[in-house]
Amino acid sequence: MNIEKKLDQIMKEIPQNVTLVAVTKHRSIEEIQRVVDYGIKDLGENRVQELLDKYDKIKGDIRWHLIGHLQTNKVKYIIDKVDLIHSVDSVKLAKEINTQAKKHGRIMRVLIQVNVSMEDSKFGIEVEEVESFLQQISHESNISVVGFMTMAPFTENIEETRHIFRKMHEIYDKIKDNQDAFKNVNIETLSMGMTNDYPIAIEEGSNLVRIGRGIFV
Ligand SMILES: *Cc1c(COP(=O)(O)O)cnc(C)c1O
């Protein structure tokens, strides 16, 4: 099946309030351009270098998302290029994003990556740490925490991922209901669901899915 047909199918499946981020890692400029020409505005890369390599080559009205682990020393390369960073998982990283954003006179929108499952992935803060984390970064006035991102471990039985997404949604709601307690928190985005598990993630409250293989393979 070709890219446009796959996009047709995915766009039919996901509700209107859910943003599709097309994950373009390892894909050619030609393939990515087809996605943009189809009308997808949000593109996600998990590596800084790959994002930089593609940034000027893809033409269109694009919002770039940095979805993978971000090293502190690389923030400066992407700060003026991305619309949303999904993977804030340390105070040190948040502070560096704030410093660089300030230099560029912008407020950087970020998501906090939470490691709900405590398996597989070594990235993300723990569920119990979320509130103290938000408190620790609440004086960084050039970042705006707009939500959370999580990844479920890969499993054959995707029903097993449901409790992870449900737990993440509970935390999202809890913080959203209480966001006035924090200075720079404006909760609106819940980034969860990839090719394997996005239907379940949406059932459990995701409003942004990150899909790569489902579009390109
Ligand atoms: C690669 C990647 C995705 C997309 O995964 P697919 O299985 O190709 O849909 C989503 N999120 C992150 C953080 C990724 O690195």
Q: State pLDDT tens for residues 14-44.
A: 999 999 999 999 999 999 999 999 999 999 9
The number of the ligand 1 atom at minimal distance from the alpha carbon of 68 is 13
What the chain holds in terms of domains, given with CATH numbers, is: 3-216 (3.20.20.10)
If you write DSSP's letter for every residue of 78-131 in order, what string do you get? HTTTEEEEEEE--HHHHHHHHHHHHHTT--EEEEEEB-SS-SS---SB-GGGHH
CA of 182 to the centre of ligand 1 (A): 30
pTM above the 0.95 mark? Answer: yes
The type of residue at 196 is: N
Quickly count helices (H) and strands (E) in the chain: 9, 8
Is residue 142 a contact partner of residue 184, using CB atoms and an 8 Å limit?
Answer: no
Does the structure show a pLDDT above 90 at 203?
yes
- With a 6 Å cutoff on the Cβ, whether 150 touches ligand 1 is no
Give the H or E element holding residue 35: helix 29-38
Tokens of 143: 């970042």
Residue 118 has what pLDDT?
79
Nearest to 72 by CA among 90, 84, 55, 86: 90
- With a 6 Å cutoff on the Cβ, whether 193 touches ligand 1 is no
Q: State pLDDT tens for residues 143-163.
A: 999 999 999 988 888 888 999
Residue 155 has what pLDDT?
83
Residue 120 has what pLDDT?
61
Q: State pLDDT tens for residues 48-93.
A: 999 999 999 999 999 999 999 999 999 999 999 999 999 999 999 9
Taking the CB of residue 167, how many other CB atoms lie within 10 A of it?
A: 16
Residue 217 has what pLDDT?
86
The number of the ligand 1 atom at minimal distance from the alpha carbon of 211 is 9
Work out the pLDDT band at 117, boundaries 50, 70, 90. Answer: confident
Does the structure show a pLDDT above 80 at 119?
no
